[in-house]
Every structure is written in C-alpha cells, then in structure tokens.
Amino acid sequence: MDNVKLMDRTDTKFVFRSDFLPVLLKDMVEHYRVLEVNGIIPNRYETLYFDSEKLDFYRQHHNGKLNRYKVRYRQYVESQLNFFEIKFKSNKRRTIKERVKRKKIHEEIEGKAEELLSNTTQICPESLVPQLWVYYYRMTFVNKLGGERLTVDFDLSFKDENNTSSYPALVIAEVKRGKSGHSPFIELMRKHHISSDSISKYCLGILSLKPDVKKNRFKMKLRTINKLCYEKN
C-alpha cells in the first residue's frame, strides 16, 4: 500500500450490481492482492463532506467544471484513523489528494484542517458547512505488478440532517493509476461488457437526499443506477 498511495493519479470508475461481485473476485485472484486490516475484509468507511450553503462544489461537478475541489473528513473505521482530505480534479483530469491526520471527525474545519485548506486552496473555511454523510464498505486491491490500486465500494448509504438513502445493490469500482498502462481489472470489465461510467459518491448522495437540486446533466447516470439497483435482470 505504501508503494501505491497515488496521491496524484488518474481515475477510471465502473458501476455494476453487487450480485456480480463473486464472479469478478474469482477472476481477479490471479492479478491482485487484497488489503486486510486487523484480519478484516471488507473495511468500513465513514465520510463527512463539506460544501457551501449553495452547494458550489456539487454545482461545479454537475456543470463539468475542472479545477474543482471536494472537502471532507474520512474515518477508516477498522484502522481507527481519521483524516481531513482535500481532493482536486485538475484540468488535465488528474486527481490530486492532500490530507492531514486528525483525532476524530469534526463538524467544523479547524486547527490543522483549516491550515491545510488555507494552504492548498483559496477557500475560506467559514464558507463551508457539513452537507452529507456517506457510509460504505470497501475492498482495496493492489496490482501484483505494481502501479495500480483498485477500490470496490458497496452497501452505500447517505445521510443529511433531514433524510437518508441507500443503494444496497450498487457497486462502485475505481481504478487508480499514476500513469496510463495495462490494467487487468479494466480488461475484465471489457470482457464482461461493462463500460466505464464516472459517478461521484458525493454527487449521488446530494441527488438522493436533496430533490430540488439541479440535476439535468446527471439524469442519464441516475437512470443507469436505478436500472442496476431496482430493475430485475
């Protein structure tokens, strides 16, 4: 894992139904090692996302703006680690992540988290408020030949101060690479006729919990996800 932190990387995402996972995992054994934390697979993640009152980060993503940010606290439950994290999507479509360790998740951006935000962005911490909790399980894989990390997230649920929503049948897989090159997982997706489809868990949560939010450019993604989750094959 230390060799594939990939804090500056390209991402390729796929969505599919959870009942496909057993087939996929069997095909992956030859190419990947899986992360085990304190003897536990999969691992729980809890994330608190921040945005402005007007959901500027969400709107930027919806409108296809690059050079955009996501700001969050994340707890790696089994590891008992907490980080304040800033993700930046550059105009070259690279994901750059900065983070600082924290003792716990806060509903305010303060201390070392505030320092990181101020040093990394032009964003004022006081302009951001907690908007969304995201909960899920994750399996993390590392390519045996190096240079690639793969995350497989499932049993997603979302919560804000008013509503909750969940997608128990949905899987979001993400290939993370420092450089372009061969990926056995992407080859497996092609073999099973699953196309890449970028979806942000944060945006999916906002769409699920805030019905009045602007969603025109996400309607196709929502239809795909609803078909995967709620229509019988």
What CATH number is associated with residue 54? Answer: 3.20.100.30
Dihedral over alpha carbons 97, 126, 65, 211 (to 10 degrees): 110
Whole-number pLDDT of residue 2: 55
Domain count for the chain: 1
Whole-number pLDDT of residue 1: 53
Work out whether the CA dihedral 185, 153, 199, 88 comes out positive or negative.
negative
HSE, side-chain direction, 13 A CA sphere, residue 86: 22
Residue-number span of the structural domain to which 85 is assigned: 2-230
Dihedral over alpha carbons 21, 88, 213, 201 (to 10 degrees): 10
What tens-digit pLDDT sequence spans the chain (233 residues)? 555 555 566 789 999 999 999 999 999 999 999 999 888 999 999 999 999 999 999 999 999 898 999 999 999 999 999 999 999 988 887 888 999 999 999 999 999 999 999 999 989 999 999 999 999 999 999 999 877 889 999 999 999 999 999 999 999 999 988 776 789 999 999 999 998 887 899 999 999 999 899 999 999 888 889 888 876 54
Whole-number pLDDT of residue 3: 52
Whole-number pLDDT of residue 232: 52
